[in-house]
Chain A
Amino acid sequence: NFMLTQPHSVSESPGKTVTISCAGSSGSIASNYVQWYQQRPGSAPTTVIYGNYERPSGVPDRFSGSIDSSSNSASLVISGLKTEDEADYYCQSYDSSNHNYVFGTGTKVTVL
């Protein structure tokens, strides 16, 4: 089964940049779109990136997404870190072989 693996946690100081990776277990991650969701403590997830790199309205351009076919991975970059960015982040894609939506393992971002 297709799986998405993320680092358990990352931390950085305010104003700095963090990159969260999302590695596909098999096949080509570029075969289907990748989304990224932010989940603050005690709240529902919200979408920060869809379609690999598109931002929903209201999401600041400090958030950016990309795909790297050579490493079969996706990345979420958060620049100019703010304390409000402290949250869990999940990548998500689709496994066409069994019509299954797959979530990544999740990454906790701590803003020091």
Chain B
Amino acid sequence: QLQLQESGPGLVKPSETLSLTCTVSGGSIISSSFYWGWIRQPPGKGLEWIGSIYYDGSTFYNPSLKSRVTISVDTSKNHFSLNLRSVTAADTAVYYCARVMAAVVGMDVWGQGTTVAVAS
């Protein structure tokens, strides 16, 4: 059974870089049928897509975050990562990683999420 697990610091200082990793277990990240994505949810608010990556490194980003986001993949470690630069309090959220079905451009398997607070 495929599982995704987010990991990374729970607290980041303003203006610094938020870095998270999503480790995929129970299946390979190398697949022509799936992308791998990051989604976030600020406290009490809805879901926001951050970006997605294909196993070959092709990326797609939310236009509103594109200037600050980099998503990368390491197929040898079966994980993918998120870097969000120049964070502010508005980036405080629960961050989820998920598998994206390429055929329908939607998520089918989600990680449990990790809370990241931006504060000094």
Contact = CB atoms under 8 A, between A and B. Distances in A.
Given A98-B63, A100-B62, A101-B52, A47 B107 contact: yes
Interface stretch (B20-28, B42-50, B77-85): B42-50
Interface stretch (A12-20, A30-38, A76-84): A30-38
A92 B107 CA distance: 9
Given A44-B111, A47-B107, A90 B46 contact: yes
Interface string B62-79: 110000000000000000
B16 to A, nearest CB: 26
A103 interface: yes
Nearest to B47: A103
A11 interface: no
Contacts, number: 64
Contacts of A105: 46
Contacts of A106: 46-47
B20 to A, nearest CB: 14
Given A44-B112, A100-B63, A37 B107 contact: yes
Chain B interface extent, by class: 20 to 34
A32 B101 CA distance: 13
Interface residues on A, range: 20 to 34
A56 B108 contact: yes
B105 interface: yes
Contacts of A100: 49, 62-63
10 contacts: A35-B106, A44-B96, A44-B111, A47-B108, A56-B108, A93-B106, A94-B105, A100-B49, A103-B46, A106-B47
Give the top 3 A-B pairs by smallest Cβ distance, nearest first: A35-B106, A101-B49, A33-B104
